[in-house]
Each structure stands twice: as structure tokens, then as C-alpha cells.
Structure 1
Amino acid sequence: MTSASELRSGKTHRDENFPVASWIIHPRHRALILAFYNFVRTADDIADHASLPEREKLDLLDLLEAELLGHGDSQKEAVMLRQALAERAMSPRHALDVLIAFRMDVTKLRYETWDEVIHYCRYSAMPVGRFVLDVHGESTSTWAASDALCAGLQINNHLQDCGKDYRNLDRVYLPRDALAASGASIESLGEARAPAPLLNCLHSLAVRNEALLNESKPLGAVVQDFRLGLEISVIQAFADRIVRLLRVRDPLSRRVHLNTIELLAFGFGGMAGEVARRATGRRPVSKPVAGA
């Protein structure tokens, strides 16, 4: 069987829409978070591989799970995460949850409703935030706001990459009922520019996702770790900017990502806001979303 490492896309933690174990996070946590990221990235790349047969994808995901649980040592990402978790006496539960999502990616190509997409996010995105919170010793009471943030980040990504996902993988995360309500067809995702019905659907989903991201605003106020609070503020600033772009841009014809200047500006802006909030003790206020 092919080694999972050989199927990596080349994407690293530096290529994400949000910081992963950045310099903001305390050094004692970075290696464990990066081990988790590399495991998840490897599994994701397996599920997204354009030419690998379905059965082989599922077998490789099963192998990653087995070795994460201690049954073998042939897959380095699984072994490294297993060892890193053992050093902290932490459970592999969140990594196992993410594997559920990647198996879904292999076998499920369409989603009927927003709730189905959120169910997917329950396994693809929410465990990542929960893991980082657990690494920092935070209370499970932080999970609800974290879940909203992680799901919002995932849906931002779905909207950004909707054309590429359809063309390369025949995978569509846009809910069928939302497409139907706008009079849009799935096939229009293959066009170079979104027709008006599809663009209306994409913008309406961005509005809905902005409301979801708004539910995550209390997260920085409830985490105890100062540096983690700063990291969350940066992630929220990036997510907010991207979703605002998605509300007005066409992701089929225009790349919806932040450039270096925007990353710096919104990153430092987010950190400054969090420092000021902690200094004054004020709690974040959820903003109403126009058109939601």
C-alpha cells in the first residue's frame, strides 16, 4: 500500500486561511498542534486525491486510524501524533472525529441542506478547535463558541473553493435547497464566472455564514490563556474579512483570499482589539448581520 506521506499535496500550515501554531501560541504547545495538523492534513489530502481509487482512500484512512491507536508504525504522521498525545496523556478522540469527515469526503459528494453541511463541520472542523482548547487546558464550556468559529471557517473555505471542488472532485458543499431557492444549477459551478442565480446563492450563504461566525465572538472572552486569546482574535479577524468579501465577490472568477498586507493589518488589528478588551474587562458584543 502507498504511504500516506507520498500523497501529500504540498500544502502546509503556512498555506491556511488562519494561523496554525503561530508564534503567538506558547512554544510548549506548538509541536503537539503541528503534529495534529500534519495528521489531519495528510488525511485530508488522501480524501481529496484526484486519481486515487475510493477503496484505497478508505483503506489508507483506516490505516492512519489504526496506527494512531497503536496498531503499527508505518505511517509517520500517525506515529508522531500518537507519541505527542501520549506525552500529554491526551486522548486521540478529536483526530478520530476528523477522520469521520474525510471518510464522508470520499463517499458523499452532495449536501441537501445547511444542517447537513453543519453536520459535516461537526467532524471536519469543530474537533480542530476543541483539540486546541484541550491542549491549552481550557474548559469544555468554550466549545460552543469554538464550534461556531470552526464551522464558519470551514464554510468560508467551501465558498472560496466551490468551483475547484466541483471541477476537480465533483464535490459540492453548497446545499441543494439553497441552490434551488436561487434557481441555480450545480453544473454552473463549472463555469468561469458565476451566473446571476449562482452568485445570489453564494452571497446568501455568505450572509448566513457571517451570522454563524458572529456566534463565535464570545470565545476570546471565555478562554483563560492570554496567548490563545490573541490567536483566536487573529483568526476571527481573518474570517470576518473573508466572509465580507464572499458577500460581494464571485469566487469562480476572482480569488477570495487575503494578501500579505491584509493579513498583517487584520492580524495586528485583531490582537490589538483583544489586548484592549482584556485590559478593560469588556465583553465582545455580537454585531447584527445586515440581510441575515
Structure 2
Amino acid sequence: MLNKSSIATRLPPVHALSAFEAAARHNSFALAADELCITPSALSHRIRLLEDFVGERLFSREGRAVTLSEFGRRYLDVVRNALRTLTDFPMPHRGSQAQPRIKITVPPTFARYLLIPHLGAFLAAHPDIVIEIFLSVPLYDLSLSESDIEVRFGAGRYPNTTTEKLFEEPAFAVATPAYLEQIGGIETPADLRKATLLRSALEPWQPWFEAAGLDWSEPSSGLRADDLGLLLELIRNGYGVGLTRKHFAQEMIAKGELVQLFDVSLTSPPHAYYLVYEQKPYERPEVTIFISWIKKTFKQL
């Protein structure tokens, strides 16, 4: 008798089967992706997953055109029969309308400091819409996932997507009062020579140096954190001076835990938060509603 695990290893992933069937029916990955409300890259990933499972090529690819391979044509009949069996099975509650659902992917610091504090207003206005939040890694995760909407922190160059900057946010230097006392105080930007400069690829120092009139290069040693929240924690715990933004540090500054240094802010930092989504969000009203809400909410910050 086969155990459950051995049966599971013989079953192809259903989401890959539906992607294969749609791509075969349309002879197009792009049209199939539109039908399934996913990105073309996500659909290609599903097709590759199924090809790895069956050990055969399902499509012949010539530029943007795709045609079924000989094996693909034979396998398609099996897949369609299996899917037809599933869809034809009587469902007593099939007529009940599914609750609209939105998948959003956001960087962790944005989620913690900006999205979560404001999300209650959206949920109160639209209690029928389910929100699912996933985290992404800024700068490194540059391919649109299967999420409906993404907020990305970066340079804003994301091909084949609709990309809109959420808000302008200057970057400035901060430190704790205890750290400043420890190093004997800082009066001018040039005094940063005696400080430990905390580093992050997300918040580079060199553009700020230029704004402060310093002909310095990017620091190459010292603590580094490629997460804005972790960078802020390093600053708050007295490890050195770092760059941050108003929406992250304003409460700590108001409480006296951090001090903004100098009257120098980088008005247009190289990285910002961008709203990124597919070209046709209007096909799902709940997605359009959320896009409108997040743009209005963060334009007012």
C-alpha cells in the first residue's frame, strides 16, 4: 500500500497544471498569465516547475511564440480530463460568492512603521476585503511576485510594471545623546570623522556627504545592516551615527531618544518607496480600491 507521502510526490502541482492548460489554450504565456491574474514570469515559473516534474519539455519556444511539444500535446489531453473531472464535481456551496482578497508584498520596515499604523482605516472602510501581507527584501527582490500589489524600496526602475512613487522623504543623520556625549560632541558635518558611521546599501552616505559639502567617499568599514529598521535599531542602541527618515525616527526624536544632527537633509535620496503593480488592476475592483487608498493615504503624509 502507498503511504501518503509517496502519493504526494507523484502528484503534479495543480497550479502548474492550470497554468499549462491556459498557456496551451492561448498559445501565449502573456494571455494565460492575464487570465490567471498572475505575472508572465510567475506563469513561466509554473510551467518550468511542471516540466521539471514530468521530465519533458511541454512547449517549444521561438522568441515570444510558444507551441506545444509532441509530449505536451499528449499530456494536455490528460491534464484537461483531470481538470474537467475536478470542475464538474458537484459543489453544494459553489454559488456562494468568494470574499475578495488582495495579496500585497512590502518591505518589513515599511510594513511596521507605515502600513500597519494606517491599515485600520482601510479595513474599517472595506470590511469585506481580505488583506494578505507578505514581506520582501529591498533591492534584492526585483521580480514581481504573485502579489497583486507591491511596495518596493529602490530606485524606481521596474520594467513592464506600473510604478508610482508614494511620497518624498528626506534622509538625515541621527544619533543618541549618549553616543554624542561619548565621542565628545559633534558641531559640524566634518566632525563626523570621529564618529562611527553606520552603513546600509539602502541608505548610502555619499549623496548625503555631497549635500553637507563634504568631499568624502562611501564608508567601507563598520557595522552594516541592509534593513532600514535594523539600521535604526543600531542607531538607537548607540552603535554610531546613521541616516534615517522622518516617518521612522520622528517618535524617537520627539522622546529625546535620538537627535537630528545639523540642518542638512538629503531632499531626494537615491532610494524611495514605490507602488508597483500590473498594468490592468481594474479587472479586479478590490485591487483598484486598495491602490487608490494607498496612494491617497501616503500622499498626505
Q: The TM-score by the shorter chain falls in which range?
A: under 0.3
Q: Per residue, is there more helix in 1 or in 2?
A: 1
Q: Per residue, is there more strand in 1 or in 2?
A: 2
**Structure number with bigger Rg:** 2
Report the TM-score, using the length of structure 1 for normalisation: 0.22
Q: Which has the higher contact order (CA 8 A, sep 6+)?
A: 2
